[in-house]
Chain A
């Protein structure tokens, strides 16, 4: 009772402090983008309150977690504030590239034909005074090897399966020997960035009262340590008090936490990174719905970093007069919807590139952006996003080889043996596998008619699909829409073969695509390679496979791969919505740029008077 009373008082104190801090404000008048030259003097201290995106809350603190807890809310916006990853993605320009100054190690050095990696750590320290050493890196690797099926990001064949051995040279240098040659960028971004060094001196134990040792060096010991740490992590009532979680190398320590997702961090004075926190406290506040959050935004100034629901985007003017600046937050991901290559009836149709290209040419991305997305998004014609700005996007893919052009769609169909019946169903009148004919497995008289199941519950998705149905009919492609619950749609995402009943879907839109969180270097080996675990459309193309392999093992960049996929449209590319429309209080500065992988870096934030 006393414990919760203390929490209650602490919460009340935070609320009061926030109120006081925000009470003495100069009214509104948003001056351009936040983070630009401050309109007032910077003050140190204070508590910044961040509104968590609706329905997602942090609830897991131990960085080696299962898929059920693998989320931005837990990793990028909770764990990483205290436990830094080996390599940090997101630089000062907001690009999804490694930032060496924020990383625990210098950029890795590849040798022996890119099969050996040498990692040299920087000078970070744990909050108990111990330095972050290669022993801590090895600790993570040992735990992972013994418990890999329990780690969300583990993919059979990839890290640590592709690690032949490792050797600790000294406290700062570790050498990894891989089982083959790998593209350094891919390996650094998609494999090494998963590593979070853990404090061996505090966590390498098998019981709370036991002493720390080297248990992780045996498989059974590593399992015991993992089980112990997992059990501790399942006791969320103690997140704010358990000494385990107080040993951090990041700028923030969790000071108090409440079930439901309320988290309060305090600045870690021992943080050895480039920017020390100026704020005293950083608070994350949970909300069940975005309307609830908007109500709180509109009724007072208790939120410093909030967001605007897209459908209420017209409110940005009102919020601006309340002292907030609207700042769209772009995430690093691609949006598309799926066509099933293994469907027994429509599979042969989808297998024809010209048909997919015709359909891509009937998607009016600009009108979707202007209407349903209300301007908060970017065009997206391939697997590599154009925004936020990044060094991988090629102009061919960025412009899109198949922009909205109904005449192109009609031409593609006509020149491949189809009779186009606008507002009806186009039919195949020239079957066969020769030039100008429909293609393999398509009988004469086949109609172009598909069922498209899309997830209900998101306004812009249903608006886009209604418009799309009407656009497709211009080339006689019939789309029978069916709105289904989100859960029932995503239950079909597991790859299937034509004989399975789970393969009877023809087109599927769950309202998203893929967020490049685990794999910030977007090589597509998980999405588009034959037989890969997230290849939900069952796409199989030897040419695509070769291009993807070249990006994972070779030294080429992404250009050939991304341009091929943009051109082939194995999925139908859709505009990428912004991650959120942030509303940031004008008194809070230092919040720009917003991280491309949705991390939070409140150590850069400060209040102004």
Chain B
């Protein structure tokens, strides 16, 4: 969770929902997005990394399950474009496997965060009053707890697996979308079509989904992409602190921090490939997020 992500929920409670609703309808945002070259480049990078991680192993076969002690930390050479790591796994193959885990956790956590946050925020904002106050105090409380501290503690008790990482990262990340969508819901609930729906007797959940959430799609999308970026950095930090998935599974963060153990031995192929992969992915999601934000015409300090 980046400071600006959270800070974006503060500030004047003015909503640009109208502009957003306009942009959403008719796919205007898509056309605006495509015109943004930087954002499109970011999208291309993301697709490339997805292909590398998930499709790559179909073409480039390496054994990522059995260690080969005796072939460890070999420099890049014939048959091993990125060398081998400290238990003999092929580094390029490792990069693909690591990418799968990394992207699965990042997308999964972002999905959990967005779904949970949107539902929570929309409900709180739509109903308002005491329910809103209670729900948002809980969000404030959870925001005040340093996520990494909780994650560290949980990881000493529970086995870190991909599912556990998704849940744990997602559960700490849903707070920002909750606040954002609540703000949207607060302003949208007094719109004419919402009031009309209420008088006609449309049930609340339907209103929430049909009007509130669909009209906040822009905010949600932007936040989702930024969540993915943050999740990747968080998983990398956790892996560095010693908590990540267990071998033979791996992720780029674990590869980077393992590689950093050998800083003095000069095994550059253990650190730069996963490190650059992380930077590229986070960068890409950030520019895509920025591009979406511009395309939806959202207040650049929010969403």
Contact = CB atoms under 8 A, between A and B. Distances in A.
**Touching chains A and B, CB distance < 8 Å:** yes
Interface of A: 291, 294, 298, 309, 311-312, 314-315, 318, 367, 371-372, 456-457, 459, 462-463, 466-467, 470, 482-488
Nearest 5 A/B pairs, CB to CB = A483-B246, A371-B69, A466-B67, A484-B159, A487-B156
B97 to A, nearest CB: 15
Interface of chain A, main secondary structure:
helix
Interface in B219-272: 242-243, 246-248, 260-262, 264-265
B130 interface: no
A488 B156 contact: yes
Given A371-B70, A483-B246, A466 B87 contact: yes
B163 to A, nearest CB: 14
B157 interface: yes
Given A456-B160, A463-B67, A463-B87, A311 B262 contact: yes
Nearest to B264: A315
B111 interface: no
Contacts of A456: 160, 242, 246
Contact of B248 (A371, A466, A485): A466
Given A314-B265, A466-B247, A483-B247, 14 more contacts: A291-B260, A311-B86, A312-B264, A459-B86, A462-B246, A463-B67, A467-B67, A467-B69, A482-B159, A483-B159, A485-B155, A485-B156, A485-B159, A487-B156
B94 to A, nearest CB: 14
A181 B261 CA distance: 54
Contacts of B86: 311, 459
Nearest to B67: A466
Given A367-B69, A371-B69, A457 B261 contact: no
B60 interface: no
A463 B247 CA distance: 9
A462 B159 CA distance: 14
B66 interface: yes
Nearest to B261: A311
A291 B206 CA distance: 56
B87 A485 contact: no
A462 B247 contact: yes
Contacts of B87: 463, 466
B159 A488 contact: yes
Given A462-B247, A466-B67, A466-B248, A318 B264 contact: yes
Contact of B69 (A294, A315, A463): A463
A486 B158 CA distance: 10
Contacts of B70: 371
Nearest to A462: B247
Contacts of A467: 67, 69
A470 B261 contact: no
Nearest to A294: B264
A488 B247 CA distance: 17
B15 to A, nearest CB: 45
Nearest to A466: B67
B265 A470 contact: no
Interface in B32-86: 66-67, 69-70, 86
Given A309-B261, A312-B261, A485 B158 contact: yes
Contacts of A485: 155-160, 243
Nearest to A489: B159
Contacts of B69: 367, 371-372, 463, 467
Contacts of A486: 156
B33 to A, nearest CB: 42
A52 B248 CA distance: 32
Nearest to B248: A466
Nearest to A290: B261
Contacts of B261: 291, 309, 311-312
Contacts of A367: 69
A464 to B, nearest CB: 10
Contact of A488 (B66, B157, B262): B157
